[in-house]
A = this chain, B = another copy of it.
Amino acid sequence: MGREEQKKQASGWFRELRDRICAACEAIDGGKFVRTAWQRDGGGDGEMSLIKGDVFEKGGVNISTVHGEFSESLRKEIPGADSDPRFWASGISLVIHPRSPLVPTVHMNTRMIVVGEGIKQWFGGGADLTPIYPDDKDTGDFHAVFKTACDTFDPAYYPRYKKWCDEYFFLKHRGEPRGAGGIFYDYLNSGDWEKDFDFTKEVGKTFLDIYPKLVRRHMHKKWTDVQREQQLVKRGRYAEFNLLYDRGTRFGLQTGGNTEAILMSLPPEVKWP
């Protein structure tokens, strides 16, 4: 399959996955996502979908397919970009902040990147869960489905990507993890594009399978003001991580991405008491 056909298939999948995730969230919430399209100066476009609902206090699902040239500072960080700074990137990224402190916050992102005229090409992404009150069954089930998804492709994936997730989503200045983990992978190019694409699709489908189950498990439970306060403080940690460390946030802001779309990940209400 030629590169252009690969790009078309990947960006098409991210769009289809977006539609399926939004439909699944709307079925739970009763509310609707509002969709806003944007154009990128320098090439490409995207769509943000934002829900402000009863179950999902704020949920943002973004897709984008952009191209351009990496800035000087990024050329040193991105594999292959020092010899050819052109890039093409397509992906889906979501963060959902439920209203109830008993329903875990979640993040999922998958993307396909091409640097130069195909000098380097890879997939990356992952999914991770951030409960306010960690629940062994939720955490166990979340990890179990991603382990199954990984094992179908390579038994080495799950331990590697689980570890990468734990290391990545860690607040060094606090000495604490952002949440209960999940998987994180990047620079995936096994030499078999179809296999890597199938794995990336599987990560999205696995998210779509497990997260609605976890939401339904807790969404009807009553919560207390103390639990809400705890949630607002935990969300502060989430904001700290995204603004201090998150590569997607920093990459997006540095490559002239859409600020509103990038910062849609920030929680609707936060406390630093």
Which A227-259 residues have a C-beta within 8 angstroms of B?
232, 236, 239-240, 243-244, 253, 259
Q: Chain B contacts of A267 at CB under 8 A?
A: 272
Contact, CB under 8 Å: A263 / B243: no
Contact of A269 (CB < 8 Å), options: B174, B259, B262, B269: B269
- The chain B residue with its CB closest to the CB of A253 is B173
Please tell me if A191 contacts chain B, counting CB pairs below 8 Å: no
Integer count of this chain's copies in the complex:
2
Shortest CB-to-CB span from A98 to chain B, Å, is 15
B243 touches A240 (CB 8 A): yes
State the interface size on chain A (CB cutoff 8 A). 23
Q: Does A188 contact B (CB under 8 A)?
A: no
Q: A160 on the interface (CB 8 Å rule)?
A: no
Q: Contacts A173-B253, A240-B243, A259-B173 hold; do A271 and B269 have CB atoms under 8 A apart? A: yes
Provide the bound-state CA to CA distance between A244 and B268, in Å.
Answer: 18
Q: Chain B's nearest CB lies how many Å from the CB of A86?
A: 23
| In the complex with contacts A173-B259, A243-B240, A253-B173, A272-B270 CB distance below 8 A | yes
A273 interface residue, CB < 8 Å from B? yes
What B residues does A266 contact at CB under 8 A? 236, 272
Give the contacting residue for A174; candidates B173, B243, B259; CB below 8 A.
B259
